[in-house]
Amino acid sequence: MLIVKKFGGTSVADKERIYNVARRIAEEYRKGNEVVVVLSAMGKQTDVLLSMAKDINPNASKREIDMLLVTGEQVSVALMAMALDTLGVPAVSLNAFQVAMHTTSNYGNARLKRIDTERIRNELENKRVVLVTGFQGVNKYDDYTTLGRGGSDTTAVALAAALRADACEIYTDVDGVYTADPRIVPGARKLNEITYDEMLEMATQGAGVLHNRSVEMAKKYGVQLVVRSSLNNSEGTVVKEVVKMEKMLVSGVACDKNAARIAVIGLEDKPGVAFKLFNHLANHNINVDMILQSVGRDGTKDISFTVKEDDIDEVVAILERHREGSLKCQHIDVEKDVAKVSIVGVGMMSHAGVAAKMFEALYDAGININMISTSEIRVTVLINEAHVEKAMNAIHEKFLLSQA
């Protein structure tokens, strides 16, 4: 069997953890399996590197930031190869250049396009464990790129697809995918299975246990994922196309504090205004999430929308630039202290009243809703960031404790 295993930052945070992982890899190798391992940077190393960059130059180029960040994963794979050596397991570490993991050119948020598998195949044939740096690639300029925070999961899934692996296992610091982040909702339960679609919505709405693009890719290439703990042998969560119908209306609750709301007040109420507004943002690759437009009155209307809080300064600068030209408005309001809370579940497709039940939980907790958006299998509300924990717990209790 060919098995791809990915271990996250906490799982390789120090010497003891590195040896713990090395022993798990050795065990798999000694069963006669071919093993490809993707590693993240040790502990919080990516954050450390980012703050070093900010300290030297707050306006550092994205190219140089990526050049810096890729060192984190390189340390992990090299040390792991050394640890495996002491256990008598032949291993080789490879970075994105050596494998050749080709990506799009956008630094900081590149997408994997193609993976050359020849080098990895040769190493496997020579009975070596292959250790690959997560989260990084190489673009057409032969520069390093990174795949966005949490991107090592995507490296693992992409490798599993390219190598047609028999299994893809994501090892982390929790026992699997829970009904909510167990650090926020102590009563959260581990799920034995979850569908790709639900996992994708959860990850996109802030459940950081998996990088959302890893789920997207797993669905596209039919890679069945297992999310489990690197610290124990419990079974974990299987992410796949369909799951046995447990009678669950809602599979999980997720939150995302990296959100900000912008209200553009007093826009002209005529055709083309929304197009111009969002086109300016699209031209700068700004992702807009929830959108709300007021009913026009006295020839004007308001449009509110949410973006990532990280993008807010750029968004305001773009809007201000066009205010005197194509985007006449009275004023622009910015609210950073907001967060999104979402419920996700395929069960809600066939059931009425799910949104109302969520709003009731928030009402009972005395929490005001600023904006609402939905998909077939998701309801999201925008609330004050200070109320996130309370909201998550109230909603979880309403849907998931009674279902248990």
Among 9, 72, 137, 347, binds ligand ADP (CB under 6 A): 9
Select the binding partner of residue 183 from ligand ADP, ligand ASP, Mg ion, none (C-beta < 5 to 8 A, by kind). ligand ADP
Find the helix or strand (DSSP H, E) in which 115 lies.
Answer: strand 112-115
Check residue 271 and give left, alpha or beta (phi > 0: left; psi -120 to 50: alpha): beta
In the complex, minimum distance from the CB of residue 301 to Mg ion, in angstroms, rounded to a whole number = 41
Q: Does residue 102 belong to the site contacting ligand ASP (CB under 6 A)?
A: no
Q: Does residue 150 belong to the site contacting Mg ion (CB under 5 A)?
A: yes
Residues 208, 367, 402, 244, CA torsion sign? negative
Tell me, residue by residue from 208 to 237, as one string, x for binding to ligand ADP by CB under 6 A and - for no binding: xx----------------------------
Neighbour-count burial of 126, counting CB atoms closer than 10 A to its CB (0-12 exposed, 13-18 middle, 19+ buried): exposed
Q: Does residue 206 belong to the site contacting Mg ion (CB under 5 A)?
A: no
Residue (of 150, 169, 149) closest to 159 by Cα position? 169
Residue (of 283, 349, 356, 293) closest to 321 by Cα position? 283
Contact 260, 308 (CB under 8 A): yes
Q: In the beta sheet, which residues pair with residue 262?
A: 305, 334
Among 25, 34, 39, 40, binds ligand ASP (CB under 6 A): 40
Q: Helical H runs in 116-211? A: 118-125, 152-162, 196-204
Question: For the CA atoms of the chain, what is the radius of gyration?
Answer: 23
d(C-alpha 140, C-alpha 111), whole Å:
12
Q: Does residue 134 belong to the site contacting ligand ADP (CB under 6 A)?
A: no
Find the helix or strand (DSSP H, E) in which 145 lies.
Answer: strand 144-146
Q: Does residue 12 belong to the site contacting ligand ADP (CB under 6 A)?
A: no
Q: Does residue 11 belong to the site contacting ligand ASP (CB under 6 A)?
A: no
Find the helix or strand (DSSP H, E) in which 9 lies.
Answer: none
In the complex, minimum distance from the CB of residue 150 to ligand ASP, in angstroms, rounded to a whole number = 5
Q: Does residue 10 belong to the site contacting ligand ADP (CB under 6 A)?
A: yes
- Structure tokens given for 237: 């969560």
Q: Does residue 21 belong to the site contacting ligand ASP (CB under 6 A)?
A: no
Select the binding partner of residue 46 from ligand ADP, Mg ion, ligand ASP, none (C-beta < 5 to 8 A, by kind). ligand ASP
Contact 329, 227 (CB under 8 A): no
In the complex, minimum distance from the CB of residue 154 to ligand ASP, in angstroms, rounded to a whole number = 8
Select the binding partner of residue 72 from ligand ADP, ligand ASP, Mg ion, none (C-beta < 5 to 8 A, by kind). ligand ASP
Q: Does residue 252 belong to the site contacting Mg ion (CB under 5 A)?
A: no
Segment interacting with ligand ASP (CB under 6 A) among 95-103, 147-155, 229-237, 319-327: 147-155
Q: Which residues bind Mg ion (CB under 5 A)?
A: 8, 150
Q: Which residues bind ligand ADP (CB under 6 A)?
A: 8-11, 40, 150, 172-174, 177-178, 180-181, 183, 207-209, 252
Q: Which residues bind ligand ASP (CB under 6 A)?
A: 8-9, 40-41, 46, 72, 134-135, 149-152
